[in-house]
Amino acid sequence: MNKIVVRTFAYFIIGMLLSLCNVKVIAQESGNFIKPIKPIEKQTSIQRHQVNLGKVLFEDVNLSENKQMACISCHLPEKGYADGLPFSKDNAGKDKVYNTPSISYSIYNYHVSWTGKFKSLEEHLDFLITNKTLMNRKWPSLIAQLKGNSEYQSLFTLAGYNEISKSTVIDAIIKFEANLAKPSRFDLYLLGDKTKLNSAEIAGFNLFKSAGCVSCHQGTNLGGNLRQKFGVIKPYFPEQKINTRDLGYFNSSGKDEDINFFRVPSLRNVAKTAPYFHDASAPTLEKAIQVMFTYQLGIDASEEDIESIKAFLATLDAIE
């Protein structure tokens, strides 16, 4: 009899605990679905040696055919891992088609590159290294070269890779890129520290939400997870004179419905990565904000609105 009572009590306690957990989960969920932007939390487990190896690879000019180009030549740390130029340079020093995007938060992107034709960083890295106008390398020769280098051998061993291969090289570089994603002031604000943003910046955030920027620039990365037409309300590109690059995703898919569709870029670090848009048509942030207001939202924005949004966007810069 006594045993039964004790057992029932134990079951009751367990049940109560389980229901508490449920309540906690529900509370977390309900917190999530009204938030258009998810904060980045500080990474807890960093594989230091892998990141270090990735950094070495990222900065090594020997990865390119002509030994003059590394990843870092277009993605400069001081420019927010973009290059500050209207268009990226190829290995002969000529302009390429698109503006160099920042890679500091690329780990959170689903679509990679301006048109979003790559679905993962792995594919994109493979493309960049084997592309004739960029690094122009063949994987076998590159692997052989890395294997011949005793420094790399020790670095790979230290990082815990048991071989030097295409997948491990790519993995190391991606680990380095993932490590670049640092939380910003805005993330701290979202995580609960309300003192991190001043009133002007909060007003900017509210305008960002109410004006409708947030319908595309949402999620962890404030963009990067969908394609959208450039010029939803008003057509942005003049119809008589349209460049091939302005066709966007149409270039890869060949479907009419994809004309002018671009990957929505992330807004993190945006203040550091001028000029803006795929064709660098906006030299300053103000101009970019104004273009977005007119063509994507159909609103004639005032000076104050633009300033307010700009103040908010500045809070998205990574803090060291």
Partner 1 sequence: MTLKRFIKNSLVVTCLVFPLIWLYMDSELGMSRRAHEVDMLLLNVIQVDTELTEHVLRTRSQLTLHYDDISSSQKRLHNLLSKFPMSIINNSTALKEQLSAIAELSLKTQNSLDKFKSINSQVSQRQRYIKYLAEEIEKTSSSTTSVINEVNQVVTEVFNARIFGYQISESDVNNYNERLLNVAKDDNQETQLLVEKFLIHFQELSLLANKETIIVSNILEHKLRNQSLKIRKELLASHYKELLNSKDIQRYLIVYAGFLLILILFFVLNRRHLKRYASKHKQHSERDELTQLYNRRVFLKKLESIIHRQSGALLFIDLDGFKRINDQLGHNVGDETLQMVASKLKNVIELNESSHIFAEVFRLGGDEFVVLIENIDRTYSTDCLKDFASSAVKECAFNLTSPNDEYFLSVSVGIAQFPECGKDIAELLNCADKAMYESKQRGRSCYTFYHEINQ
Question: Which residues of this chain interact with partner 1, rule CB under 8 A?
Answer: 32-38, 110, 119-120, 211-212, 214-216, 218-220, 225-229, 232-233, 257, 261, 296-299
Residue at token pair 């969908």: 226
List Cβ neighbours of 51 (8 Å cut-off, separation of 6 or more): 175, 176, 179
State in angstroms the smallest separation of the CB of 277 from partner 1: 18
Phi, psi of 280, deg, nearest 5: 55, 35
| Residue 65 vs 122, nearer CB to partner 1 | 122
> Degrees (nearest 5) of the Cα angle 99, 100, 103?
145
Helices (H), the chain: 2-33, 48-59, 121-130, 139-148, 150-158, 166-179, 185-190, 199-211, 250-253, 285-291, 303-314
List Cβ neighbours of 301 (8 Å cut-off, separation of 6 or more): 211, 289, 290, 293, 294
State in angstroms the smallest separation of the CB of 229 from partner 1: 7
State in angstroms the smallest separation of the CB of 103 from partner 1: 18
| Residue 29 vs 320, nearer CB to partner 1 | 29
State in angstroms the smallest separation of the CB of 218 from partner 1: 4
C-alpha distances out from residue 84 to 17, 163, 273, 276, Å: 55, 36, 6, 9
What is the C-alpha R_g of the chain? 24
Two tokens at 172? 């190391």
| Residue 126 vs 286, nearer CB to partner 1 | 126
C-alpha neighbours within 13 Å on the C-beta side of residue 95: 8
| Residue 120 vs 136, nearer CB to partner 1 | 120
State in angstroms the smallest separation of the CB of 117 from partner 1: 11
State in angstroms the smallest separation of the CB of 215 from partner 1: 4
Q: How far apart are CA 204 and CA 192, in angstroms?
A: 18
| Residue 100 vs 218, nearer CB to partner 1 | 218
DSSP annotation of 73 reads G
| Residue 96 vs 127, nearer CB to partner 1 | 127
State in angstroms the smallest separation of the CB of 293 from partner 1: 11
| Residue 34 vs 92, nearer CB to partner 1 | 34
